[in-house]
């Protein structure tokens, strides 16, 4: 496989950054995940951390070097994360469970498989146009589809942040799956939270990324989102992948997995509380305790071989 990948998260105007992102790749498979946590007192970011870490851990164990069934992998990973979040809430006797959106994509054999719960989005972009995108699990999308409101009304609607499917809710999540989608050379997969897509349309992002260096273009999109979001803007996070297959665009940014061994997996995952981009006012002791509890919750549903 050959691809260029870039991920970044911005805090925006929020007190904490409750978004989480990760990517992992073996010789023959790639996983990308974005999660947007919901819940006060740091619990939203813990829910998001559990989601991305559960999927990353499972990928590290099972992608040797291919996943046997990518859709089954996504379904199991998201379901296990959902139950791990519920267990965390039960142990802490929380009155309301922490929750998170989740969108995840696997690419292997130049075919993309994705799944999502909530309103974090995946866009497939080709030649400067959006070829496919996820459908938000939100009240606003239902109103739009029923023709009860238009796009301009949706942007200002009081229910624009209300979603009906997520990980961690007492109600089991509605996980929606894509079709098997072959990728062409130059295709871009962009996964992001609503802090980005809420202020920048997919069409505009597709134009901005056409032929661009992702390492330069994606931070520009996030910077513009921060400006548009203003002092109360949401966290904005993105992972963007340009599928290059047999072509290396730039030796400094392109990744080739050709020389990786069958059992080798590379992961870019920030541990809870360790990345300044995910600002937290927890103490070091509180962070260490949270890390241990996150690992405990995940391991119950993701036991090591």
pLDDT given for residue 84 in this prediction = 96
Query: Domains, the chain, ranges and CATH?
Result: 2-134+163-301 (3.60.40.10)
| pTM of the model as a whole | 0.93
pLDDT band at 246 (very low <50, low <70, confident <90, very high): very low
Q: What whole-number distance in Å separates Cα of residue 128 and Cα of residue 208? A: 8
**What percentage of the chain reaches a pLDDT higher than 70?**
95
pLDDT tens for each residue of 14-48: 988 999 999 999 999 999 999 999 976 679 999 99
Work out the average pLDDT over 250-260: 75
Highest mean pLDDT among 115-119, 153-157, 242-246: 115-119
């Amino acid at each position: 496989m050959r691809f260029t990948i870039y991920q970044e998260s911005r805090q925006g105007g929020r007190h904490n950054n409750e978004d989480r992102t990760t990517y992992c790749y073996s010789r023959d498979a790639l996983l990308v995940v974005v999660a947007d946590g919901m819940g006060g007192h740091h619990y939203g970011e813990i829910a998001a951390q559990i989601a991305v870490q559960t999927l990353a851990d499972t990928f590290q164990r099972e992608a040797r070097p291919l996943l046997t069934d990518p859709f089954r992998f996504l379904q199991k990973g998201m379901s296990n994360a959902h139950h791990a979040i519920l267990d965390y809430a039960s142990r802490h006797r929380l009155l309301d469970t922490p929750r998170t959106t989740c969108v995840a994509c696997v690419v292997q054999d130049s075919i993309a498989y994705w799944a999502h719960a909530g309103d974090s989005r995946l866009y497939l972009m080709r030649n400067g146009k959006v070829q496919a995108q996820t459908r938000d699990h939100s009240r606003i999308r239902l109103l739009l589809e029923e023709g009860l409101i238009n796009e301009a009304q949706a942007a200002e609607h009081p229910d624009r942040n209300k979603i009906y499917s997520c990980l961690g809710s007492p109600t089991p999540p509605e996980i929606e799956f894509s079709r098997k989608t072959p990728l062409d050379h130059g295709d871009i997969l962009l996964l992001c939270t609503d802090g980005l897509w809420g202020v920048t349309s997919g069409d505009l992002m597709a134009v901005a990324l056409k032929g661009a260096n992702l390492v330069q273009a994606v931070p520009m999109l996030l910077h513009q989102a921060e400006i548009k979001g203003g002092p109360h803007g949401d966290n904005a996070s993105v992972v963007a992948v340009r599928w290059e297959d047999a072509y290396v665009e730039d030796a400094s940014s392109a990744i080739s997995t050709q020389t990786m061994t069958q059992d080798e997996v590379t992961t870019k995952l920030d541990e809870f509380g360790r990345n300044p981009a995910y600002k937290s006012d927890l103490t070091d002791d509180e962070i260490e305790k949270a890390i241990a509890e996150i690992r405990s919750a995940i391991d119950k549903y993701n036991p090591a071989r």
